[in-house]
Structure 1
């Protein structure tokens, strides 16, 4: 029996398991791109409007950090500028979650051991996962290419757009394959791989923000940090600009290198083990661990502290840009309109609009933290520790509420630190926004994050085996419908499905209590329904 025996059967099994998840990822990405292309055509029907928007974006480090570098002023170039980075992130997340789901998660829940008892080679599981995800990435790239061609955009740019998206997804598939060998739990592998996507996006953003502007004020040449990022490699293909085809070899070389490492580690480690095993706890526990709240805090402590430190540093960095944005962007209608769309505000000062847009980003980060913290419930249930905890006097509702409290308190602290850091930095560079309004702006994002928390609890109570997929899908759709809904030109009814749409754009607008109260009520209702469902169901592996 060879090391790859049984790969074909495992490919069919993986395709059956992902017959819903992967089509949703691909179809959702296609719909978002189609909406984004249509929105650009409606918003910038002439060359003059596109020229003004692109010139303004090229002089704003904040916009370059978020959106990437402009490559021209024709319709395809603006579609690329508005949508390309988002598509690369979606491809990376789709690939990482799928790879971990079919490798490390199978080992963690016992499915891999059962399959391995048959005629299955040592490399079959990993090979099958890479084949399925590779096919999904290629299909995604082809679908995006067809979408752009259907919008009447040039073929060369459409093919480069799709090929770069597929290649970026393949690069992150390789990275996730390595993570699945390094970490002993699916949660750890997913967290590492998803964090790698975020870091790659940030590194790409830093390189673009530090890039060299061309004399025409349109094109921007990225600085060297962009070349350290798989997402940066994708953007350097420059679809609808002067396409650079050889750059697409970089993610493929990275994939091959990661595959070599992953297979080498898989050949040397024990089944179910990882090179970075879970650390054993101390021989004697503290009194804090007697309560479910103390246990939940202990399990989430490291992750929470990392999020808090990152949010504070990020807040300090963003706060220093207020004065720069005000000086560089005043009078630039293109950038002002873009920030208005991101912040869902209008008529406010440019600095306040910029801070409101950044606070929306913090709201997304808080929601991501809450989801990650609450997914501990599912990993504890599937892995077995939940059964031991619930065998004591601790009830199901109390156990879930303990994790929910840790997630809510952590999200609150994250938003307070982000707002305070932004306010302190703004004051240090001569800004007048103030710490109080920015802390309030951060806290205004909390109800939206709690609404997604309620959704996670609902899914956990109703469909436990789909909790991870549905939780992250809800966040992605909330971002697409809410923060990017106006940019994509989505109908108002669709944008209203996102909790982020209903958050007032503070400090660019006055506080309105009605939408925030409605979000809190929705969060409470979702949570109560999820608790009731979980209380009545049996534990599920």
Structure 2
């Protein structure tokens, strides 16, 4: 008698798996990710909360009453270029004026924090091969993405709670402070979801960065177009087409539209669901979108050329950002003297940008110092890339050739030095062209602003050298370079306004920059900062040369 065996039933497709499938080991991965980011997340949360609280306190100290603040700032806040950069102000109340810059700008920084955390524990781990090793154990397929989303969400919530508590403590209206927290929640949670989806679409960390940061840039541009459109223009609707526009529509310290949070939560939940659906439809190590085929023969002939090629998308993005910054500064500068008509605003500019020159010079000096902090962030990003190359095993393969580690590191340092100079010059040149056309002296204005931009570079190099020292001596703590930059920013920009002790303020390299343009160029501080940068950077290279790779 012949026995017929029924064919085995095929396994259910991923879409039919129960909700809890693939989550084994999630808590273990979450604890591991939390330990790795135990410095980055708290330091970033503290810095962003301090940005709001300290700038608000400085504003309260400058203006004795609401009438003075309104008379000084009303025309300023209506400037279209300023609205495009920082969003429309919610009201002319003193709390709204005190938080004008921090509403949208702080939310964008929070979105960047969410992006860094989620990308690091999804696509970066997968590209490095560590996720494959973990998956060989008792770890579910969905565990890593779940842990990354949970940690990213926690980072957003921690930052928002700390900011709201600190804002109320310095005297901001409690209801408006909560609304400001809602603004940040909408944007921060949205980019947890955006980055989770981006990590599934591409097969590389750089691809994830391109999708996530590109989406952030598009959202910012769409919101800017909508916010600056005429009141009766259909383009005003674009403000509701961007998560950044949703955040601005909360109108903290104005209408306080708490219900906008529902839009952010719905987008966050929807994107996370999409990310898990995409995860179930791709292979480990691959992305949903096919990778672009490479050339049969590479034109890259040196480690420096390889470094430049890997950093090319990052550099293009930063140059574009500084072009936009230059456009904004150049368009605002022509009306600076007309809207800075109070001694309080002049005193603030003097405290932050220097006491020499005209009001326009003070304005440019202040903004160029802020731009220098951004350039330092670019330098740190390029330096910390070395740690990523080491942990992913790429450096080991490269050093198997005649390439030496110090020469390889110097290539990154040289690129960081050149890149920071380029972005500062680009921003200053664009601003100089616009403002120079207004005053009838394009060449002179561009030259003065370019010189002022270059005078900020020694401080940028000190921040870069700190990152290099951490990577060379304590690679596990390379991320502390970001905390150091936040500290430098707070001390350099708000130290004098808050009457902090002089020795504490002097710890920031940005404190020692000359008040350019308009002031006297003092070479001693610039030479001193350059010497410090060289010494600290040399110590970092020496430590890198002595230590074993992969060991911190």
What's the TM-score bracket when you normalise by the shorter of the two chains? 0.7 to 0.9
Q: TM-score, normalised by structure 2?
A: 0.85
Which segment drifts farther, 267-276 or 75-84? Answer: 75-84
For 2:437 and 2:77, the matched residues in 1 are separated by: 26
For 2:239 and 2:521, the matched residues in 1 are separated by: 38
Contact persistence 1:56–1:334 (CA under 8 A) = no
Which of the numbers 50, 58, 62 marks the counterpart of 2:77?
58
Contact persistence 2:72–2:339 (CA under 8 A) = no
Q: Does structure 1 residue 355 correspond to structure 2 residue 364?
A: yes
Which segment drifts farther, 229-238 or 484-493? Answer: 484-493
Which segment drifts farther, 488-497 or 82-91? Answer: 488-497
Q: Tell me: CA distance 1:519–1:228, structure 2 relative to 1, closer, same or farther (3 Å).
A: farther
1:293-321, Cα deviation, whole Å (9 max, x unpaired): 23323333444345445534643554344
1:369-406, Cα deviation, whole Å (9 max, x unpaired): 32333233223222222112212222211111112112
Q: Does structure 1 residue 233 correspond to structure 2 residue 233?
A: no
Equivalent residue for 1:434? Answer: 445
For 2:174 and 2:364, the matched residues in 1 are separated by: 38
Q: CA deviation at 1:103?
A: 1.4
Which of the numbers 470, 478, 482 marks the counterpart of 2:480?
470
Contact persistence 2:356–2:515 (CA under 8 A) = no
Equivalent residue for 2:6? Answer: none
Q: Does structure 1 residue 448 correspond to structure 2 residue 459?
A: yes
For 1:8 and 1:314, the matched residues in 2 are separated by: 42
Instruction: Describe how 1:44-55 pairs up with structure 2 within 5 A.
Output: 44-55=63-74
1:148-180, Cα deviation, whole Å (9 max, x unpaired): 333344332232222332332211111111222
Q: CA deviation at 1:235?
A: 2.6
Contact persistence 1:52–1:333 (CA under 8 A) = no
Q: Does structure 1 residue 406 correspond to structure 2 residue 397?
A: no
Structure 1 segments unaligned to the other structure (5+ residues) = 214-221
Contact persistence 2:382–2:416 (CA under 8 A) = yes
For 1:492 and 1:200, the matched residues in 2 are separated by: 41
Q: CA deviation at 1:332?
A: 4.9
* Structure with bigger gyration radius: 2
Instruction: Describe how 1:298-309 pairs up with structure 2 within 5 A.
Output: 298-309=309-320
Q: Tell me: CA distance 1:281–1:465, structure 2 relative to 1, closer, same or farther (3 Å).
A: farther
Q: Tell me: CA distance 1:31–1:416, structure 2 relative to 1, closer, same or farther (3 Å).
A: closer
Count of aligned residue pairs for this structure pair: 528
Partner secondary structure for residue 165 of structure 1: helix
Q: CA deviation at 1:345?
A: 2.3
Q: Tell me: CA distance 1:324–1:225, structure 2 relative to 1, closer, same or farther (3 Å).
A: farther
For 1:191 and 1:315, the matched residues in 2 are separated by: 23
Q: Tell me: CA distance 1:409–1:19, structure 2 relative to 1, closer, same or farther (3 Å).
A: closer
Equivalent residue for 1:530? Answer: 540
1:331-369, Cα deviation, whole Å (9 max, x unpaired): 355654554455x12353233233323323432343233
For 2:272 and 2:187, the matched residues in 1 are separated by: 15
For 1:267 and 1:194, the matched residues in 2 are separated by: 24
For 1:117 and 1:355, the matched residues in 2 are separated by: 56
Q: CA deviation at 1:536?
A: 0.8
Q: Tell me: CA distance 1:97–1:306, structure 2 relative to 1, closer, same or farther (3 Å).
A: closer
For 2:507 and 2:433, the matched residues in 1 are separated by: 34
Equivalent residue for 2:491? Answer: 481
Q: Does structure 1 residue 246 correspond to structure 2 residue 259?
A: yes
Equivalent residue for 2:517? Answer: 507
For 2:487 and 2:311, the matched residues in 1 are separated by: 26
Q: CA deviation at 1:117?
A: 1.8
For 2:210 and 2:110, the matched residues in 1 are separated by: 16
Contact persistence 2:326–2:427 (CA under 8 A) = yes
Q: CA deviation at 1:225?
A: 4.8
Q: CA deviation at 1:421?
A: 2.7
For 2:216 and 2:451, the matched residues in 1 are separated by: 30
Contact persistence 2:106–2:184 (CA under 8 A) = yes
